[in-house]
Structure formats: C-alpha cells, structure tokens
Amino acid sequence: MTCCSSSTVPNQRALKQRLDHERLLAASHDMGDGVLQTDLLVPGMHCATCIRTVETGLGEVNGVDNARANLSTRRVSVRWHPDAAGDADFITALSNLGFEASLYDHGNIATEADDTGRKLLICLAVAGFAAANVMLLSVSVWGGADAETQRLFQLVSGLIAVPASAFAGQPFYRSAWAALSNRRLNMDVPISLAVLLSLGVSVYEALYGHHETWFEASVSLLFFLLIGRYLDHMMRERARSAILQLSRLMPAGASRLDDSGQASYTPIAELQAGDSILVAAGERVPVDSRIVGGLSDLDLSLVNGESAAVQAVPGLDVEAGVLNLTGPLTLEVLRPADQSFVANVISLMEAASQANSRHVRIADRAAGLYAPVVHVLSAASFLGWMAYTGGDWYTSLNVAIAVLIITCPCALALAVPIAQVVAANRLFRSGVMVKDGAALEHLSGADTVVLDKTGTLTLGEPRIAAVLGGTDHEHAIAAVLARLSTHPAARAATAAHPATPGVLVSDVAELAGLGLEAVWKGRKVRLGRRAWVAEIVRGSGAPMPASSASSEVCFAVAGSDIVSFQLSDTLRADAATVVRDLRSKGMALEILSGDMPGPVGAVAAQLGIEKAFSGLTPSEKTAHVEQLRSQGRHVLYVGDGLNDAPALAAANVSMAPASGSDIGRASAGLVFTSKSLGAIPVAIEVARATARTVRQNFGLALSYNAIAVPVAVLGYATPLIAALAMSSSSILVVANSLRLNLVARHKALTPASAPVSETPISADEASTMAKANARAAKPRLEAVK
C-alpha cells in the first residue's frame, strides 16, 4: 500500500499540472508567429515593487517572451511560446512568488472591484472607530490625569488598538508576509514594520515603561493609510469606469438554441462560433454575431456613437453590445466572448496604462529602489539617533518608524499610470480607444499630421455622381447584377435604378479585379472595369467613349454601348473644421493617398491642404513618413486601410478609424470609433495635457520626498504626522490626474460651424484639378522614391 500510494501522488500532481496547462492554453489568445497571450488577474499587486517582482518572476518561466503588469486593473499579460514552455503554469509560478492569481475574466471585473472596495471600507471603518476612541482616551491622559488614571487609560487604549490594528492592517500584513516569505521586499513591508513596531513599543510602555505610548499613532497610522488606499482604489475605479460600465452593460449569458429550436440559458463564456442564439427585444447582443432570422431595429450607439436606429435584416453582422430594440432576433455566433468587440474595447482601454513608455520606465526604476533604500535610511536614522542621544532607544525607534512611513513612494508609483488611465477614460468618452499608453506620450510631441484620403478624410463609401449613357432598361439590368456583389463600387451602382421585377440574369461569375459577368436573355453582360467591359461592346475595334470620371464602374450588354456610372466619395462632415483646428495647434498637414490625382487634388483644395501626394504605394507612403522623421518631424499618421498599415507602424504615433481594416487598427496606437474626425484634435489636446500632468505628478512626488524625508530624519515628524503626510501626497497626485477629465470638455465630435456638408466630390470637380495636382505631386513623389 505504501509503495502504491507513493507512486500515486506524483501521478496526481502531474495530472493536475497537465490539466492546469490545458486550461491555460484554452484561455490564451493567438498573437501570431506561434506566440500566445494569457491574461491573469493578480489582486495582490499594490505597488511598483510588486509589479517588478511579478514581471521578473514570470519572465524567468521557460518559454515566456515577456510579462507586463497593469497596476490599475491588477492584470498581468504574459506572452509565451507554448512549444518552449512545456507544462508551464503561470498561476503556480505566481503563487510561489506570494501572489494569488486566476485567469482574467472580463465578466468579473466589476465583482472583483466591488469586493476589494468593500473589504477596504470595512478595515477603514474599524481603524476609524479605534482611532477615535483611543484619541479620546489620550486626550484625558494629556489633560493632566494622575498616574494611576493614565496607566488605566493606556491599558484600555491597548485593548482597543491591538485587536483593531490586527484586523484593519490585514491588507498590509498579508502583502508584506507574502513578500517576505518569498525572500523579497515590497512597499507594504516597511509599512507593516512601522505599524507593528509602533504598536509593540506602546504595549511595552503601557505594561512596564514610563514613557508615552503611541497607541493612537498606530491606529491613526492605519486609518490614514487605509484612507489613502481606499481613495486610491475608488479613484482608480473611477478612472476606469468606462471599462466597468461596459462590463456591467453586457449580459452574463444568452439563450442558446439547440437543433430542435429549444432555448436554454448559457453563460457567454461557453458560446462558440456557429452557435445559434435568441436575443429578445430590449436585450443586448452578447457576442459578435450575424442575423439569420427576425426583423427589428438596432441601437448601435455603443459601437459607433450614432444615435439613429438601424434596421436589422438577415445577413447583417452585429457587434457585441448592440441593443436590440423592437423584435426578437435569431443570431449565429461569429466569435467567442473573449474575442468580441466589447472584449477588444476593454483590452484596448486596459493597454493604455500598460505600455513601457519613457515616463513609466522612470517611475518604475525610482519606485524599484524604494525597499532597499528606505530600510537602509531607517536603520541609519536609528543608529544615528542612538549615538546622538546616548542610547535613547525610544526616541531613536520613533524616528526610524517615522522614516519608514514617510518615505513610501506611493505618489511616485502613481504618477504615470493614474494619469494615463484617466486620459484613456477621457478619450474613450470622446470615441477614442487608446491601445498603448506610450502613444499618448508620442502624440503630445507630434508636430505633423499625415492623413490618408479614402476612408479617413472621406467616408470611403462611393456614391453615384452621374450616369452617362444607357437606357432605363440597361440601368435596371446593371442594378440587378450589382446587387450580386459586395464590392463598394457595385453597391453604389445599385442605387442607379430601383429594383425591377422580371429582370433575371444567369451564369453569374465574379472575376477578381475585373468585375461581374452574366447572361441576360442569351446575351453576355458585364459590370466592372472600363477596359474589360469594352471587350463586348458594339464594334470591338471601335474606340471606347472617353470618360472624364476619376472613378467609375462601367456596364454593357454585348453589342451595345458602354454605360458609365461615375462615382464620387463624400468628405466627412467636419473635415474642414478639424483641419482648421489642427492648424491652430501648430500642426503641419499633408495628404498621402494611393488614389488618382483628380480626387486627391479635389479633397486637398476643399480642405486647403497644400501638400497632397497621390498614386502612392504602401512602401512609398512608408518612405515618405520615414523621410519626415529623418528631418526631425514628429509624425502622427491617420489612416484606415491595409495599404496604410506599414506607414501607421513607421510613424511616431498613429490613429485609425474603427471602420478601417483589421490590420490598420492593429497597427495604430489609437482608434476612433465615430465618423467624426473631431477625435483627432481632442486626442492631441488630451495627450498634451497628460504630458503636463505627468510632469506635475513627478514634481509633486519629488517635492514631497525632498521636504518630508529630512523632516523625518531630523526627528520633527512623529509616526502619526508621517502617515498623514504620506497618504496626502498620494491623494494629491491622483486628484491632480483627475483634472484630465476636464480637458476639451467643450469640444463635441460634430462640426462646430459651417461644416463641409454631405456634398459628394463630383467627377467633374476632381477632373478640373487633376493635371495641376499631378504636376505638383510628381516632384515630391520622386523625392519619396
């Protein structure tokens, strides 16, 4: 039995480790190139030293590329190679470091925050009750009571302070013990040491000594520390309130339909691509889905900021968070919950305070020196005062305790992340998602804005500006054929003629890069590029009719003449207003586009932008951006498409609309969700204010330490005063950062006055300027090449 039992234990341990590893794999996201990202919740992180320990410890696990901890959300993101990691278990690795951890679940963000706040509030209430009563007893002692009464009141104070300190100090004691048990230091070690030393000295003096006791200092110290930690917690929650609001808006589950059509409640974490779900009127779509049945109206305001209801029809893709207004809908799940629109938005928001920017590196290095430096300074103060007072351990110990408390660099640790989190929340309310906290730092220094045209300055939605040639019947055939394609130009052509019953086409084929071909009443018909369509027109050897269109889609019935649907794009409504705003901020403006000279020149002329380059390939756009940077310019690139991705990555900082391509959004540091370009100047203004706030926070933190540390070392600060000073400095830094919520509040993301209307840029207007702009762009393009 003994032999069997001894062999079973390792097998059970190996089985558990393998199951934990499989659970880790299932919860990870594929980042490409064989790299996975796993997100963990580590509620025990409280300071920069904790962050450093977690990141360093996880970085030593086999197969881990890097680990980045977010103090604001208590989230740790680990990027790792599963092939090299073996059966690695990050939760066990963190446990060995003294941190409890679990897999990060967006649905539990609000619950975790509420639990932490409630526990801190209870500890704060106990400490406050004890501090008030002990202080009341101390007043009687200080008022001149006789020796016996003083001794009695000191003992009663001890009976109140000792159990109250044991309970209220749990957040600090547990964190300190976890650190010490793993042979490391964090900010809570000297705090706990200061509280326990102060309490121990007071108990000794109450029982055997003749000096004053510091019971009121011990409990008041915890009271002030807990006030600071609770307010810090509440302000962090307020700063990330957008994330919490999104989490609370989303349903916890959905009605999943089985093969027989019966509905059963299913948590959203268990929904998989291909599942059928039922969303009733008044409910939000739980995951990204496609409508397969039902008719209703949808509120997309959470997704794109537009208040107008949109009709829900089968085949329409809807993002998680969309509100179903009027009727039940049957949906097909496209992506699981952790890959949904809302999950991506939350990830983007949380990444805002997580990037390793220059300011973050400075704060991390400074706070990382805290634990060893403060212990050395406290010990030196104790020894110095022992020598100065001739062995007065009571005075020397009080000075050492005050130094331990007053030197806590909480304000310095908060200087950067709290400013970035508040700024990200402020921008989120303006329709901008910050993917990278370093993007805010780079954006604050931008002096040149480079804009893509199609999909950025314009809506990227072609419209029919004119129809040249053809009969109503030919227009109807073209419209029927266009409805069979998803190409933007074909969708625009469907508006040329209303649906006509009885117009039927067969043998439809779509040829990539050319267009659509079909058969109508035995005759071949084509819709697409002019040269390709011209192959079937009357008299194949005849010259093609000339076109002045800068963009068009052509149609022809075999043996007939070409019909030209001339297309135009639409400027975003507030483009001119935004350009004026950017100029007022001292920004140089340029347009880089792969479009033809005509439409690019027309847009540049309407907006008053002198430097506009057309016909650029992705590599030429990138080369131009790199050329600007080599000239010492700090470039903000705004683009939306796949062809913009290299330039987005090459710029100092980049923005992309949420309507752009997936790769474009992934390459950008900031993403704006509305159709308004007003997000750009607002983002710049908030970024500049954030840079000022970070510098102010550093100044406040350093000024506090420059004043407070000498005061404590010279013996002018009691432990009580030290606790009050330390908590006040943290609160001051957080309150200063919250002022970012007031930045640009007067600016709406709609045009302020005399906006450019929804007037299309016509083909004729574009052609008028085509030659002039082509001549102007050519030498610049050659320079880029």
d(CA 502, CA 727): 79
Residue 710 buriedness (CB in 10 A; 0-12 / 13-18 / 19+):
exposed
Residue with tokens 């439809």: 508
d(CA 238, CA 250): 19
The rounded Cα 261 to chain-centroid distance in angstroms is 38
d(CA 197, CA 209): 15
d(CA 586, CA 290): 45
Q: Can you tell me whether residue 452 is helix, strand or coil? A: coil
d(CA 272, CA 724): 52
Residue with tokens 């939000």: 284
Closest by CA to 687, choosing from 721, 724, 648, 654, is 654
Contact 526, 515 (CB under 8 A): yes
Closest by CA to 427, choosing from 749, 198, 150, 171, is 749
Distances (CA, A) of 563 to 496, 527, 554, 559, 649: 11, 9, 6, 12, 41
Token reading at 755: 């906006």
Closest by CA to 193, choosing from 205, 177, 214, 206, is 177
d(CA 516, CA 518): 7
**H/E stretch holding 148:** helix 147-168
Closest by CA to 37, choosing from 89, 88, 77, is 77
Q: Give the active site residues.
A: 452
d(CA 123, CA 128): 9
Which residues have C-beta within 8 Å of that of residue 457, sequence separation ≥ 6? 451, 571, 572, 575, 591, 603, 607, 677
Residue type, 528: G
d(CA 623, CA 612): 15
β-pair type (317-318, 35-41): unpaired
